Amino acid sequence: MLKIFDCIRDVTPLTVLVRTLIAFLCGGAVGMERSYKNRPAGIRTHILVCIGAMIASMTGVYLAVNRQFPTDLSRLGAQVVSGLGFIGAGTILVTRKKRIKGLTTAAGLWVTGIIGLAIGSGFYEGGIFTAVCVILVEILFADTGNRLRKQVEYHIRLGYQDKSALDSVLRACKDNRFAISNLQVTGTNDQGQPGYIALISLRSRRFMTIEALMKHISQSSGVLSAEQTEI
């Protein structure tokens, strides 16, 4: 532990002021990056979360140490961690393209609350160092996920009558280095003719395109229709 903080670890009016100020600065530093990127939870939200968690942690310490109440020091902190999950859930959105946004903001709010708990308990080193790490992660790794080459997922709607046609299509997918992530089959009875509809989800193992595979599938015997779908 850093000895510079030893004089302000007990709960006194001075430490209340110091911890509130540190929580304000740490929460504001993390929230500033989110505000700059126009995220739902900005600098004010992060400051409030950090200060609220700090005073909850300090209250638990005060009741147990200063007032000698028979209370659990970690109980208030545990409730704060649970409550932060509800706040973070409000920042997570699912777009029309089935993409999830807001996970980083939700995680940032959760970590900011933990930082406040650490500061409120007098663990200044952990709170400050964690805040610095969070800021570095949000700034330095902001575009890393977009730069990484990801496997594209394709969805095929396949219509057929003979069950052997599905086996042939699945074999063709594997031969072309496509991994089958999901398969749903339903029965149909169009114009009195029994048939089947299969929804196949694929991922390319070698970043191959699906055009050649679709051409091969459409020419397979027993296949009535084959088309790409969004879901």
Per-residue pLDDT tens for 178-189? 888 888 988 877
Q: Which residue has the higher pLDDT, 9 or 31?
A: 31
Beta carbons of 173 and 200 less than 8 angstroms apart: yes
Is the pLDDT assigned to residue 170 strictly greater than 70?
A: yes
Q: What is the pLDDT of residues 121-130, one digit of tens each?
A: 888 999 999 9
Residues of the chain with CATH 3.30.70.260: 153-229
Whole-number pLDDT of residue 177: 81
Tens of pLDDT, residues 72-96: 777 788 888 888 888 878 778 777 6
Question: Counting beta carbons within 10 angstroms of the beta carbon of residue 226, is it exposed (0 to 12), middle (13 to 18) or buried (19 or more)?
Answer: buried
Are 33 and 141 a contacting pair, CB within 8 Å?
no
Structural contact between residues 156 and 199, judged by C-beta atoms closer than 8 angstroms: yes
Please, are residues 51 and 59 in contact by the beta-carbon 8 Å criterion? no
Q: Alpha-carbon distance 81 to 74, whole Å?
A: 11
Range scoring the smallest mean pLDDT among 8-17, 145-154, 178-187: 145-154
Fold of 153-229: Alpha-Beta Plaits (3.30.70)
Q: How far apart are CA 19 and CA 8, in angstroms?
A: 9
